[in-house]
Amino acid sequence: MAADPAPFDSASFSIFHFPLYISLVLQRLRERLTLLLIALLPLHALLVTVGTKLIEGSGHAPMAVLAVWKEGILGIILVLAVMGLLMNAKRALLCFDAADVLIVALILLSFVVTYLTHQDWKLAALGFKYDFLPLTAFLILRRVPWSGDFLRSARTVLLWIGAAVAAYGLATLVLPRGFFLWLGYGDAHSLYFPDQPLASFQLIAETGIRRIQSTFSGPNQFGLWLLLPLSVLLSLVSQTRERSKEKLSARQSPSARPCASSSTPPGIRGRLVDNAASQQGLPLHPQWRADPPHGWLFPSRVVISLIVLILFALFFSFSRSAWIGGAVMLLVTLHAALPRRIFWRSFAALMLAGVIVAAAGIALSPKVLGRLSSSRGHLTRPLEAVHMIIAHPFGLGLGTAGPASNRVSETCVMLRPQDDPAWAKSQPTLCVFLGDTQVQPADHICRCPFHPENWYLQVGVELGILGFVLFILLMITVLRRLGMQNAKCKMQNDIHSHFSFYISHFTFLAFLAVSIAALFLHAWEDSAIAYTLWMLIASSCPPAFSAPAHGHRFRCPDLPD
């Protein structure tokens, strides 16, 4: 773990220590800003809504100046990272692995496709923000050192901010509409208008049941973000079980001891961990070698309480994609924790129970779980995206699909042919379709955003077949790397391996869940999800390259302590 900068001592301080001192200061500042960003990102929509009302009054769209605060902080973090690299680790700039190559190739391809198509660089900038700004942050931040203190603090921040937004979200189920108007939200619900305040919640069809979105801009974004603290909690449960098994094994076999215990002198302990890493490719950042990272497990009652709170909030978001992601995380955790025979029996029982509950729920309240209008879009829009990719195999350019297209399009509501659009007459500028027929407004043809309801197909529409393939390869590469780290660290038996297993385990779970949810939604759209997850992966996943002559993978040369 990176040591804190020592107090200034004129007797021992020399000009040769100055660059190291500055790099430590830059690292501390970068890590604290990153923690601040992780803590504030889930509050973005609420903060901007309240700030806009305080500055401009009620009834105004979120101020663009306020909305870019998060990109400003991220920009400062990246500048600090680049400064640290230029001062002490220029060689890390040239160390590229497969993930780095794929990201650079995608960025270059996006510029080429955009130049050959619409050449609307303002629209392309919006597309770049959603598609590639998080990947650019990952590309840079994985090259700089991160301390164990930062990773422990990031976990704690995620848990407590997750508990706060989950509790507030559950409270919004019963809070009166006047409360949201007082905060600065719009009077309309369930709709997004670029020139109006955000809606405070969504209603499920004609039921009047709220889909909570808490401090986020929508319930899907809220539900998907909850997967991040949930992955931390599931990893804590898994890690606690592993520690219990090892304690039992140690009592049964006194000779089976960790290779570096807390009583081992720091210098010897560091050398032991270095030897383990060099022999077995253990993916640890150098800062974790100085001292063992104690105090990273939570009391079981706290963990269970937080899991229950977050699961309740996740349920009332009614985000089916987030439910699927959470179920996948739970199954992966059970698969790792249970004997195979017990796992498959439990899996079969859970699947049967899930089918029965879902069938009963749809039968008793089809508008709540079925949501035919929404389900129809999840089926038809991906097919439209596939046809568009076939028609334009080289892509349409950045920003032509997904969330970026919202900024240059009108708000459109797609209803079934048998639905009654009378409720929309109070919003005369709202574009309403019954099936494929536009029924409102009558004075012009609406320009609707194109949402493939699938992040991978969105990239394919923008960047063509080549971009689609490269992006899928990137996701597989990162997921495989996290899985390999998870397996390697689990095999080791020292305190550093326990900590790195925990970090790689929860980033693996979260990345897997969001990647699966991206099959059904624009899961990487929200900055709280994209920035947080890619920064955490960067902090625990330094570049690696293949060395065929040695038959296994190596990390890049260690960055300076």
Instruction: Map residue 218 onto helix, strand or coil.
Output: coil
Indicate whether 421 belongs to any domain.
no
Indicate whether 91 belongs to any domain.
yes
Estimate the crossing angle of helix 527-540 against helix 219-252, to 10 degrees.
Answer: 30
Q: Which pLDDT score, from 0 to 100, does residue 177 have?
A: 86
On the question of a cis peptide bond just before residue 441, with omega within 30 degrees of 0, the verdict is yes
In 3D space, the residue among 110, 99, 89, 191 whose CA is nearest the CA of residue 139 turns out to be: 99
Indicate whether 218 belongs to any domain.
yes
Q: Which pLDDT score, from 0 to 100, does residue 200 have?
A: 81
The whole domain housing 162 covers 19-96+133-184+206-370+498-555
* 412-415 and 544-547 strand pairing: unpaired
* Cα separation, 509 vs 537, whole angstroms: 11
pTM higher than the cut 0.95: no
Indicate whether 408 belongs to any domain.
no
Instruction: Map residue 456 onto helix, strand or coil.
Output: helix
For 385, the enclosing helix (H) or strand (E) is helix 372-391
Which residue shows structure tokens 């039992």? 248
What is the phi-psi region of residue 127: left when phi exceeds 0, alpha when psi lies from -120 to 50, beta otherwise?
alpha
DSSP-derived letter for residue 5 is P
Q: Which pLDDT score, from 0 to 100, does residue 541 have?
A: 83
Indicate whether 171 belongs to any domain.
yes
For residue 362, which amino acid is it?
I
Helices of type H across 253-371: 266-280, 300-316, 320-337, 340-364, 366-369
Domains in the chain, number: 1
Indicate whether 270 belongs to any domain.
yes
Residue ranges in the chain whose pLDDT is less than 70? 1-18, 89-92, 189-190, 205-207, 240-299, 361-375, 488-502, 545-561
Indicate whether 200 belongs to any domain.
no
* Cα separation, 516 vs 221, whole angstroms: 14
DSSP-derived letter for residue 407 is G
In 3D space, the residue among 126, 89, 133, 85 whose CA is nearest the CA of residue 107 turns out to be: 133
* Residue 516 CA neighbour count, 13 Å, CB half: 17
Instruction: Map residue 399 onto helix, strand or coil.
Output: coil
* Cα separation, 460 vs 212, whole angstroms: 31
Indicate whether 43 belongs to any domain.
yes
In 10 A of CB 259, how many CB atoms?
16
